[in-house]
Amino acid sequence: MPIPNPPKSIGVVLFPGFQLLDVAGPLDILNILSYTHPITLSILSSTLAPVSTAHSNPLTSNTSNTPSTLPVNSTCSQSLVPTHTFSNPPADLEVLLVPGGLGSRDERNVVEVVQYLKSAVGGLRWCLTVCTGSPLVARAGWLEERRATTNKRAFGWAKQQHPDVLWIAKARWVVDGNVWTSSGISAGIDLMYAWVADVWGEEVAGYIADCSEYERNTDPENDQFAERWGAV
């Protein structure tokens, strides 16, 4: 059943080195939703300059599957243009999407993100995270003693950094109150469909998935990557 008074103002935070699909997958669902439902999207960052997916501080994982150096001579990145800065955000923001990405490991990239989250999350109706976006929300103090998940290749690192979070290893996404967290990268698409179904109804979510020719994972516990990357 759709909820009364669904949100109209949705935002996403960006930082250098964000993961493109963390943002583009969920936002494309919202794009299609906006054809039939009134939505205002805001893109927030530290400045109004385009924000690139390029990163200069690659993560070093506790698994051997994650490269510790960038590919030689690779120049492949994309940029998105913010609509607002963290110092001048929309006053009516109801929902915030927090992506992850290799750039989230570099304090220079995310210090202003965390500062903004500390001031913003308390006034939101929902906070949605993808991949290593959940550790950023944890740093803002909003996941203490809450159930959450994150990218399974970064799971050990997230647990070590934030032991006060009730991390769920085998989960495509986790819901704890008004905080929805998802696993790695593509899991944000399944989270967004699940959230749209919860807010606007399953018929709406199913229609958008059909329009996108996307086969949804509708089981939040269906997570083959927890074992693949050694989270369990």
Cβ partners under 8 Å of residue 180, min gap 6: 126, 127, 128, 129, 173, 174, 191, 194, 195
Token pair, residue 162, equals 């934030």
pLDDT confidence of residue 151: 98
Task: Give the type of residue at 190.
Answer: D
Segments in the chain below pLDDT 50:
58-69
Helix (H, G, I), strand (E, B) or coil at 174: strand
Token pair, residue 94, equals 């109801």
Domains of the chain (ranges plus CATH)?
A: 9-51+77-228 (3.40.50.880)
CA separation, residue 41 to residues 30, 93, 146 (Å): 9, 9, 27
| H or E, element range at 43 | strand 40-45
Helix (H, G, I), strand (E, B) or coil at 77: coil
pLDDT confidence of residue 66: 41
pLDDT confidence of residue 71: 57
Q: Which residues pair with 129 in a beta bridge?
A: 98, 181
Token pair, residue 128, equals 């949605």
